[in-house]
Structure 1
């Protein structure tokens, strides 16, 4: 799924998500695939690698299984993360 704007996900997506905007994953939202975006706010489940040009926020109900590349990372108490994380200095191509 290639987008140019912001997206909020309440259901389930199987496949990659790529946008020049931000991704907001609701508490019951699920993504099975990679995500590329300028920012992400996760409060649901992600199984895949995430590449963020800006801020990645793992909220209290988030469960991430995969690697995370970001410029800024915020993790709330209760968030679960299984994978590697890496700070990036250059922009990630979201195409």
Structure 2
């Protein structure tokens, strides 16, 4: 066998031919996304989960049916019917709506969750948050207003403010009757 000559090889090796039934089936994947770790940045996304990796930039509305993780940049609106994880490298300038939200990166915008919001130590959140359960871990930065009532209750609540004279008269009337 000649390695570096211009002459063609006299006895070329014959490559085996695959059976016709093998050609009709798609090739098996080398590795599934549930076992790969993208760029060594942490745990791989679970099967059936959306993942926006570092270096990705999206402007506009994003909607997820299932669980999702964002490690890139998003500017706009994000909604998820399941859990949403904002990774440490993420920079999000968006209004967020999801069942539960876990923030480890930077978020500027309001966050509304129907179940829970978790703000991790590496997080920087600037905006209003609404969720029935809130967890802010030591070291996290949060600037904004917080409401721990379900959104529907907050919208239905009505506040009536009486002029000061009426409040004083009502308070005095209540004391005389007692």
Question: TM-score of the superposition, structure 1-length normalised?
Answer: 0.91
User: Structure 2: which 5+ residue stretches go unaligned?
Assistant: 1-61, 153-178
1:26-45 residue pairs with structure 2 within 5 A? Answer: 26-45=87-106
SS at match of 1:16: strand
The separation in 2 between residues aligned to 1:37 and 1:15, in whole angstroms, is: 15
Name the structure with the higher strand share.
1
2:147 aligned with 1:86: yes
Distance change in 2, residues 1:90/1:69 (3 Å): closer
1:7-86 residue pairs with structure 2 within 5 A? Answer: 7-86=68-147
Divergent runs of 4+, >3 A: none
SS at match of 1:28: coil
The separation in 2 between residues aligned to 1:12 and 1:35, in whole angstroms, is: 14
User: Shift in Å at residue 89 of structure 1?
Assistant: 3.0
The separation in 1 between residues aligned to 2:116 and 2:89, in whole angstroms, is: 21
The separation in 2 between residues aligned to 1:90 and 1:46, in whole angstroms, is: 20
SS at match of 2:122: coil
User: Shift in Å at residue 58 of structure 1?
Assistant: 0.3
After superposition, the C-alpha distances for 1:26-48 in whole angstroms (9 at most, x for unaligned) are 11111111000000110000000
The separation in 1 between residues aligned to 2:130 and 2:151, in whole angstroms, is: 11
Aligned length: 91
